[in-house]
Every structure is written in C-alpha cells, then in structure tokens.
Amino acid sequence: MSKFELYNIVLKDITNEKRIYEFDLDDVYFKKIDSPEVQRGNVQAKVTVQKKASTYKLDFDLNGFVILPCTRCLEDMNQQIHYKESLDVKFGSKFSEENDIVIVPEAEGAINVAWFLYEFIVLNIPVKHVHAPGECDKSMINKLKKHLPSSKGNDEENDDTTLGLDEMEEDGFSTHNQFIDLDFDNLQNIDN
C-alpha cells in the first residue's frame, strides 16, 4: 500500500451522481508529505466530485489549522485555514496539466489528491503569519524592542517600524486596534 493510497479518487466509477470524500489531514499526513512549509496541523478536507460531460469537477473545501512559526517571535502558532477551490479533471494518455485542466491516464482512471490538498493549504498561508496582539513570546518582543531604532525626534506619534510595541503592554492589545507589522530591515542584528 502506497503512503498516499487513501487519497486516491477513482473517477471511472463515478457516473452522474455527486460523490463526497472526506479526509482528515493531521500530523501524520504532513509528515508523509515531507515538505518544509507545513509539518503539523489538523485540517478537514471535503472533496465533492461530479461528472460533467467529458470532465470531472472536483470541489475542495478545507477547514482547520496548521502550525507554523510566528513571523514576529518565531514561536509556534495556529494559522487558520479556510479555503475553497475547484479542479477540472479529464482522462488522457498520460498525467499532465493543460491550462486549468488536470489530465490523468485513462488506464488508471483515478486521481490522487494528496499533493493538491497540500498545495491548497500552502497557498492559503499568508506571507506574514503572526500571533494575535499580546500572544507573542514576550522575551522575543523585548529583544526586538532593544534592537529597533529609536523613534525619538520623530514627530509622528506612531511609527510603523516600531512594531506598535509601546502599545503591547501587559494586556497586549493596541489602543488603536491595528495589526502590528514588522520592518525586517531593522532586525538584521538581533542576538540569538
């Protein structure tokens, strides 16, 4: 049995009815994928398959979370995943992708969706993934404060490059209720 056999969807057996396949993508799944972007999480995937003339339409609905390092403090955080995508599949002589259609060998009559599920999850992760305000590792935030340039002499009260750290006190919430952003150019010399 191949490590991704559970994710095979036999298309040639589907006539005009809709079929629903459900997959629990947990830590075991992510370890099998063996890709550096995501290695842990818990995502429920529902794949609805329907035959349309000479193609099959696969509708993916993904809900759950993956565990990633926070871009700001590097501690693990849960990144929510809520994503819907569609894929058109048809039979051909060999596996390929043409325009927006995936072609699977007619002799096999099936498609393995394991990698598609993973790609959809990774595409749903924002470039900057950070904890909610107040949830970052306080010791890392203190190191960031120490190594950021001072905004003294700046007439602006809130400088975006200060991370909004002045407002991240004990309760950790910004008085301006804004999301905190990093200026990575100013973080080059942070001690480990």
pTM metric for this prediction: 0.73
Domain boundaries, the chain: 5-123, 138-187
Encode pLDDT of 65-80 as tens digits: 999 999 888 899 999 9
For every residue of 12-80, DSSP letters joined together read TT--SS-EEEEEEE-HHHHHHHT-SS--EEEEEEEEEEEEETTEEEEEEEEEEEEEEE-TTT--EEEEE
Beta partners for residue 62, in sequence order? 45, 83
Encode pLDDT of 141-169 as tens digits: 888 888 777 655 444 443 333 454 443 44
The pair of structure tokens assigned to 25 is 């993508």
